[in-house]
Structure 1
Amino acid sequence: MTDHTPADPELLYSEAEGDLRAAVRSLLADRAAPADLPGRAEDPGAHDAALWKALAADMGTAGLLVPERLGGQGASHREAAVVLEELGRAVTPVPYLTSSVIATETLLALRAGDLLGELATGRVAVLAVPLSAGPGHEPATTGTVTGVADAARADVLLVPRPDGLYAVDAAGATVVPQTPLDLTRPVATVTAGTGGTRLADAGAAREAVRRGLLAGAGLLASEQLGLAEWCLEETVRHTRERHQFNRPVGSFQALKHRMAQLWLEVVNARAAARNAADALATGSPEAPLAVAVAQVYCSRVAVHAAEECVQLHGGIGMTWEHPVHLYLKRAKSDQIALGSAGHHKQTLADLVELPAPA
């Protein structure tokens, strides 16, 4: 056995991360339980401002990536990943990934202290790029962008333009809601016009956007992990309680094998997601590789877990009243968010200098 060195990835959770998980899970159990999700999703435009305030401002999770001197917590991507795991478990409709990770990381790259301090208090900023945009995305040259996640919830829009990145008050932009597959993460078409405050020139803006999208893609894997864990646990619970032929259906060998296979996939997804979060937290030069691996693997596992959850719940899994259909929709939406699997496979191929799969 080799000794652990500082360069080795740390995949285990610390005591502080465990305490953070317990606090976030307790809040969501009280305010955003999965059983209540179908009713809340009936109104995709609704935004639970009280829940966001409790999570982002009162608990301080919005400022985890923001340095303490700017009013944040001075934590790291590891702690933000724990929050996203819990938000994924409850498919919570809050703009944490878009504002507290992607927008915050973009502003960190630009050292935009004033805006970062505002985001740490729960103000919402959204990077005006399509939800499907992965690291390396080239911003549109037109003033209208479609598929921008959480734009309707934003106070500030970070708008990439050919000459740089601008901060635009959302009240002065045109935001037209679109019909999303995932009702818990609304998307919209954004037209920001020509106003706003210039934050960076074109070169700095390009690098900042790349950094924001890289962090978003890496920590999206933790959201996918949390979603897959809930689906597995809910499936095991249901098949233990549901009886056929006077036996729990979970005791049938065919179902045991399917759940055992899913458990193995979730364990591997946890390793990939934690590796990506740790690489981002430590500023590892291998972060792009870790992020690409995590997205290629975790996106598939989340979809598989949600599909198995629907199927093994039988008839109830197909009803609108059970929340599992919203987990499947979030998993499918996340599968193409922040770069598709094909995009990340191409990234992997480029990084290791091997031909990408056709």
Structure 2
Amino acid sequence: MTDGTPLQSAAPAPDRDPEPDLLYSEDEEALRDAVRSLLADRSDPATVVAGLESDVPYDAGLWRALATDIGGAGLLVPEKLGGQGASAREAAVVLEELGRCVAPVPYLTSAVVAVTALLGCDPADAEVAALLGALAGGRAVGALALPLATAPGGAPDGQAPGSVRADRSVRADADGALTGRVTSVADAAAAEILLVPAQGPDGPALYAVEAAADGVRTDTVIPLDLTRPLGHLTFDGAHGRLLATGDRARAAIERALLTGAGLLASEQLGVAEWCLAETVRYTAERTQFGRPVGSFQALKHRMAALWLDIASARAAARNAADALATDSPDAAVAVAVAQAYCAPVAVRAAEECVQLHGGIGMTWEHPAHLFLKRAKSDEIALGTPGRHRDALAGLVGLSAP
């Protein structure tokens, strides 16, 4: 009952960012099915173990199928530039599946980090557009010439500290002659195109260098994770084509590192999921005292606790992918949370996998060691969990005790 006074309409709700979508769409599930089917046929863990004895840095046939036949290499590239016009959400699905089998392909380095760096340059520039088309079509592999451990915000002035400088080239005013060295670059041996941050004549800049060009030397090193090779790059007057300078170069490199770190969480999620699934399978089959060892309460508790951690890691990884896909203003926060949480979960899942397999888990023939090495390598890639926690504290205004 009212007193005759007209009802006041409610005040409009303030504008808010849309809630993150952590679920997988039908298209994303279809992409997952295609990638999982390909990997089951071409890159199951046993096949990866067998291939580690070769000197080939990555599986070229598998990469061609993933990059070209499925179109995975161009997911982040707009259709008008020869890509699929998808988003970080779809790329995250691919990385989840690659993490499940530690596939030796340069997806993170080329289709994610290198592509994002190029997208941060001027896509209308013919040189940038040509490079994006080559990477999207799987005709070339790219790599950002920074150490694998470089975190977002960790390349001041657009370059690895003290690594590469660019002098004026005699071939063109805009180009440069690059000199310097960059260590521990992921998939350097597989790359045909190197995107090199350097200190140019006019400040920080980003250059494109052909890996086979004169003045470029790649020295391979033996990494912890043999499925993601590392290389040291040395430039001795190598010709670099200028892609971006100044603030644009800084922003392109920073966005590439941020996107790489955010989507790396999805790879870490895939590693952890395989480790748990394989451990559950093995402990259900392995018997002791006439019972499956997985029926022992202590082991059940360990696997249940790990399952809860992985469920939380999935939410963190999906939130980071969605924030990057929607260009959320909180993307940096989402990435820092995902890396600070997912990296330790992947390591713990791999450690539990090795331990709960008993003696067989310690052998070279069983693939468990591949996942432990990938998890440990990923833990320092693109920033350690501690580095991301420090970044998170600054982003949300929490000072250290």
Within the alignment, does 1:243 sit opposite 2:284 as a pair?
Answer: no
Q: 1:180 aligns with which of 217, 223, 227?
A: 223
Corresponding position of 2:330:
286
Answer yes or no: is the 8 Å Cα contact 2:333–2:395 preserved in 1: yes
Residue 171 of structure 1 corresponds to 212
Once the 2 structures are TM-superposed, how far is the Cα of residue 140 of structure 1 from its aligned partner?
A: 3.0
Displacement of 1:348 in angstroms is 0.5
Partner of 1:269: 313
Q: Residues 211-266 of structure 1: CA distance to partner in whole angstroms, max 9, x if unpaired?
A: 00000000000000000000000000000000001100000000000000000000
Matched, 1:311 2:355: yes
Counterpart of 1:113 (choices 129, 146, 158) is 129
Residues 35 and 66, structure 2, Cα contact 8 Å, conserved in 1: yes
Moved over 4 A (4+): none
Alpha-carbon distance, 1:37 to partner: 1.9
CA distance in 1, matches of 2:28, 2:381: 26
CA contact (8 A) 1:65 1:73 kept: yes
- C-alpha displacement at 1:205, in angstroms? 1.1
Residue 136 in 1 paired to residue 136 in 2? no
Q: Structure 1: any 5+ residue segments left out of the alignment?
A: none
Deviation at 1:352, TM superposition (A): 1.3
Q: Provide Cα deviations, 1:297-349, integer angstroms capped at 9, x if missing partner.
A: 00000000000000000000000000000100000000000011111011111
- 1:257 aligns with 301
| Aligned-residue offset at 1:6 | 6.5
Letter in 2 for 1:17: E
Deviations 1:110-141, CA, capped at 9 Å, x for gaps: 12222111111111110000000011122233
Contact residue 177 and residue 187 of structure 1 kept, 8 A: yes
2:34 to 14, 20, 23: 23
Q: Secondary structure at the match of 2:185?
A: strand
Q: Secondary structure at the match of 1:47?
A: coil
Q: CA deviation at 1:354?
A: 1.5
User: Do the aligned partners of 1:44 and 1:184 also contact (CA within 8 Å) in 2?
Assistant: no
| One-letter identity of the residue aligned with 1:152 | A
Q: Which runs of 5 or more structure 2 residues have no equivalent in the other structure? A: 1-15, 164-179
> 211, 231, 236: which one pairs with 2:255?
211
Given that 1:103 and 1:127 are in contact with CA atoms closer than 8 Å, whether structure 2 keeps it comes out as: yes
2:252 aligns to what SS in structure 1? helix
1:52 aligns to what?
Answer: 63
Whichever structure has more strand as a proportion of its residues is 2
Alpha-carbon distance between aligned partners in 2 of 1:304 and 1:282, rounded to the nearest angstrom: 31
CA offset at residue 44 of structure 1?
A: 5.2
- Aligned residue for 2:12? none
* Length-normalised TM-score, structure 2: 0.86
| Mapped contact 2:48–2:104 kept (Cα < 8 A) | no
Kept after mapping to 1: 8 A contact 2:110/2:135: yes
Q: Distance in 2 between matches of 1:302 and 1:117?
A: 34
Give, in whole Å, the separation in 1 of the partners of 2:347 and 2:374: 9
Report the more deviating stretch, 36-45 or 245-254: 36-45
The residue number in structure 2 matching 1:154 is: 191
Q: Deviations over 1:168-224 (max 9, x none)?
A: 000022100011000000001001334110001132111110000000000000000
- Structure 1 residue matching 2:236: 3-state secondary structure: coil
Task: State the structure with more CA Rg.
Answer: 2
Given residue 136 of structure 2, which amino acid in structure 1 is its aligned partner?
Answer: A
Larger helix percent: 1
Q: Percent identity?
A: 65
Instruction: Tell me which amino acid in the other structure corresponds to 1:127.
Output: L
User: How far apart are the structure 2 equivalents of 1:178 and 1:216?
Assistant: 22
Secondary structure at the residue paired with 2:219?
strand
> Which residue identity does 2:118 align to in structure 1?
L
Total equivalences in the alignment:
353
CA distance in 1, matches of 2:303, 2:354: 13
Show CA shifts across 1:274-304 (max 9, x none): 0000000000000000000000000000000
Equivalent-residue separation in structure 2 for 1:141 and 1:6 (angstroms): 40
1:7 and 2:18 are equivalent in the alignment: yes
RMSD: 1.1
**Residue 336 of structure 1: aligned partner:** 380
Give the conservation status (yes or no) of the 8 Å contact 1:162–1:202.
no
Q: Compare 187-196 and 211-220 and name the one that shifted more.
A: 187-196
Q: Which moved more, 1:106-115 or 1:7-16?
A: 106-115
The secondary structure found in structure 1 opposite 2:120 is: helix
Paired AA for residue 176 in structure 1: D
